[in-house]
Amino acid sequence: MRLPNRIRVALVTSGLLTALFVQGCGSDGGGGTTPAVMPVGGLDARPSNTTCLAGARPSSSDTASVERVFPALSFSSPVLALQAPGDASRWFVVEQGGTVRKFSSAPGTSTTTSFIDITARVASGGELGLLGMAFHPNFPTDRRVFLSYTAGASGSRVSRISSFMTADIGLTLDSASEQILLTLDQPEDNHNGGNIAFGPDGFLYVGFGDGGSGGDPHTQNGPIGNGQSLKTMLGKILRIDIGAESALTYTIPSTNPFGANPKCGPATNAQSCPEIYAYGMRNPWRWSFDRQSGDLWVGDVGQDSWEEVDIVVKGGNYGWRCREGRHTFGNQTGCPTSGLIDPVAEYDHSLGVSITGGYVYRGPQTTALRGRYVFGDFGSGRLWTLLPDNAGGYTRTDLVVSSGLSISSFAQANDGELYVVDYSGGLYRLVFQPGGGGTIPTSLAASGCVDSINPTRPASGLIPYSVNAPFWSDGAVKDRWIALPNGQNITVGAGGDWNFPNGTVLVKNFNLGTTLVETRLFMHHTDGTWAGYSYQWNDAQTDATLVPGGATKLWGTQSWLYPSEANCLQCHTAVAGRSLGPETAQMNRNFTYLQTGRTTNQITTLNGISTLSPPIAGDPVTLPAIPDPAGASGTPAERARSYLHTNCSQCHRPGGPTPVNLDLRYTTALNATNACGAVPQAGDLGLGAAARIIAPASAPNSVLVARVNRRNDANQMPPVGSNQIDTAGVALLTQWINGLASCN
């Protein structure tokens, strides 16, 4: 029987029939012909989406002002203010000359008392003095408080990191209890750094400047300076393990970049210092850990022209004295030609002359700047924040153009509020004023992209989908949906890339086992820009909360990273079209649609419900498709190339944001990737002279494998968003490379 044309048209229009294959002429009689096999789409009609839409992009145009707090109090050259863990009732202010004052947090407080006085031990003045203080994270159960100060006279000047014990339930420190943990020779009276803080890993981090110079700051430790020399602790961020309360010295965390080496002494050493966490610093004056994401933000004071903000990772080289900010500096003899990490922000000396690092705001004020980094300048008194740009980076934005303050430090209260320490003696609170722009709901249930009654389920207007080669997401299983504005279609480019109209939202759930841990909304805003927003699920699995600026949360034994908005666009690059998964070769696969219970090809379905413009012509069997790297189909080479396409090619392709000229797209011939047989230009990771990006028949000599097989340092791939090694991916790449006879 042959269907009448009007019925065929009706079926196609409704999505119940998207192709008709006739096996014979057919008849109404008993001539023995069989009906045609008629594949149908997975959905009967395109769902109406009126709730999950990307509107105007948030402008984060809030501004701020500073207001004096505790006006009855004044301090002598204050350089730090902080509260003890779990105790918001008191403040502690570090005075550069060698004293720490404490006072009540109650409004109207008019008196202070001494917490400790080590004036007799401190060499102060200029950039010397008592410069840092950190309570043990378990204080006062662990009674130690750590101080960083400069001691000694000219010619024998040293920086000390010492612990002191409280003598009376945390009310005062016993100056006689000092235990000197670390000593570092200081060649000059400037660039001492001096900040100390405990990281989220429980280790003590220590910042030191490059030691300054009595004339030419460019020639310490040879032409590359102390910042680049790994045989001194000058110009570094250090990480040490201070152990239990009874410990008399520190140990080296085994995961430090040079952790197997002997401890460094106070002077230059024969081997790379195991205390080093990151290097290439000039004078890291104030830095902090984001209490939600764990990121380490550093303000590094510049030399002649540029001040910089760095996000510091283990093993990172931040350039001094080969670079000042993003700019080549001085004699380049001995400078590395690759591997230097640029700052995330910088400013020139028309705006200020000495950066003071701050904090990511996590306080209770209602502001679009929650999750944004705030910093300032000691000389000009300006305050800025960093807003995500549209390219995976940050834009420096004025908060306070002229505060009139000499900003020696910022302070973060236990509730997350931010304060400014004025070197002239006062303390000030940062007060935000609202601006304009669009808003992103803080509750996922209110986003319109999920069922408001059961947010674990999508809103009715969303179209589910899957991809052939999923991006590695630390072992999470993902569910995906497309939310298209009504009346708008997906444009299919000539190369198979899919472009989405303004207003589109791509929704993704991340599940660790049976636990839903994150939902991401990737929005194509009405101004044509893309932006990503992460929501952290609560333990009860009843709703998820927006986490601006990113976060880290422990789910069971696994630490899960929630990316910041800037992190999202580092992977969702403009050159790759922002939306990475939806492309013809990824979407050409079968999918089971829960709405109908049917399993059918996704492209057939999307054609049938009129979402693709133009429709993708041809039998799906004839269309491009890449294999699942973890699947059984395809050769090891095809699956490995599919893995690289998904996990790497969004950056490593022509026009990509990386400094190396690689093209790891699936369709690029191996000998045209610029990877096979190529000498690495961004460091050999200790593999030696035989190292190649891809070394045929030798995965152990392949930097590509080594980068995929490491985490939590400056050399990992992918560089953000993952802290778990994809062991199956490493095994696949190893199998493929070991089986390569050549690059052809």
Do 100 and 174 belong together in one domain? yes
* Residue 6, domain extent: 1-40
| pLDDT for res 224 | 86
Q: What are phi and psi of 3, to 5 degrees?
A: -70, 140
Question: Do 529 and 422 share a structural domain?
Answer: no
Of the residues 622, 639, 671, the one at which a domain ends: 622
What local confidence, expressed as pLDDT, does residue 12 receive?
Answer: 32
Provide the β-strand partners of residue 522: 506, 532
Q: What is the mean pLDDT of each run of 10 residues along the chain (744 residues)?
A: 31 33 32 45 97 90 94 98 97 98 97 98 94 97 97 91 90 96 94 96 97 59 87 97 95 97 93 98 98 98 96 98 95 91 98 98 95 98 95 94 96 98 98 87 97 96 98 98 98 94 98 98 96 97 97 97 96 94 97 97 97 95 97 97 98 93 97 97 93 98 98 94 97 98 95
Ramachandran quadrant class, 54 (left: phi over 0; alpha: psi -120 to 50; beta: rest): beta
Domain boundary, last residue among 563, 598, 622: 622
Q: 361 and 427 in one domain?
A: yes
Angle, CA of 300, 301 and 305, to the nearest 5°: 120
Work out the number of other CB atoms within 10 angstroms of the CB of residue 67.
Answer: 10
Around Cβ 565, how many Cβ atoms within 10 Å?
24
Q: Identify the CA nearest to 530 among candidates 460, 582, 486, 600.
A: 582
Q: Is residue 21 part of a domain?
A: yes
d(CA 371, CA 373): 7
Closest C-alpha among 510, 453, 507 to residue 483: 507
For the chain, the domain total comes to 4
Q: Is residue 241 part of a domain?
A: yes
Say yes or no: 366 and 477 in one domain: no
Sign of CA dihedral 622, 625, 630, 634: positive
* Six token digits for residue 121: 């031990």
pLDDT at 301: 97
Give dist(CA 52, CA 449) in Å, integer: 4
Examine the domain organization and report whether 653 and 612 are in the same domain. no
Please tell me whether residues 279 and 177 are part of one structural domain: yes
Same domain? 235 vs 190: yes
Closest CA to 416 of 374, 461, 385, 378: 374
> CB neighbours of 596 closer than 8 A, spacing ≥ 6?
42, 43, 44
Which of 433, 453, 472 is the last residue in one of the domains? 433
Q: What is the helix, strand, coil percentage profile of the chain, to 5? A: 10, 30, 60
d(CA 642, CA 657): 21
Question: pLDDT tens digits, residue range 113-166?
Answer: 999 999 999 999 889 999 999 999 999 999 999 999 999 988 899 999 999 999
Put the strands of the sheet holding 113-117 in their side by side order: 78-84, 87-95, 99-104, 113-117
Tell me the C-alpha distance between 300 and 323, whole Å.
12
Structural domain contains residue 58? no
The 10s digit of each residue's pLDDT in 352-392 is 999 999 999 999 999 999 999 999 999 999 999 999 998 89
Looking at the domain assignment, is residue 213 inside a domain?
Answer: yes
Domain check: are 587 and 633 in the same one?
no
**3-state SS of 318-359?**
CCCCCEECCEECCCCCCCCCCCECCCCEEEECCCCCCEEEEE
SS3 48: coil
Q: Looking at the structure, tell me whether residues 26 and 173 fall in a common domain.
A: no
Q: Is residue 43 within 8 Å of 460, Cβ to Cβ?
A: no
Residues 270 and 410 in one domain: yes
C-alpha to C-alpha distance for 515 and 411, rounded to whole angstroms: 37
Burial of residue 132 (CB within 10 Å: 0-12, 13-18, 19+) is buried
Report yes or no: 145 and 163 within 8 Å, Cβ to Cβ.
yes
The answer on 214 and 154 residing in a single domain is yes
Residue 389's identity, in one-letter code, is D
Q: Could you give the angle at which helices 636-647 and 727-738 cross, rounded to 10 degrees?
A: 130
Which residues, including other chains, have CB under 8 Å from residue 557's CB and lie 6 or more apart? Answer: none
Burial (Cβ within 10 Å: 0-12, 13-18, ≥19) of residue 698: middle
Predicted pLDDT of residue 220: 66
Task: Report whether 483 contacts 490 (CB < 8 A).
Answer: no
Report pLDDT for 437. 74
- Is residue 49 domain-resident? no
Asked if 563 and 551 touch (Cβ cutoff 8 Å), the reply is: no
Q: Which of 477, 481, 537 is nearest to 505 (CA)?
A: 481
- Nearest in space to 138 (alpha carbons), one of 87, 207, 196: 87
Strand partners for 383: 376, 400
Global pTM?
0.91
Q: What pLDDT does 217 receive? A: 47
CATH of the domain at 105: 2.120.10.30
Residues 562, 534: Cα–Cα separation, whole Å: 6
Q: Are residues 524 and 615 in the same domain?
A: yes
Q: Does residue 653 form part of some domain?
A: yes
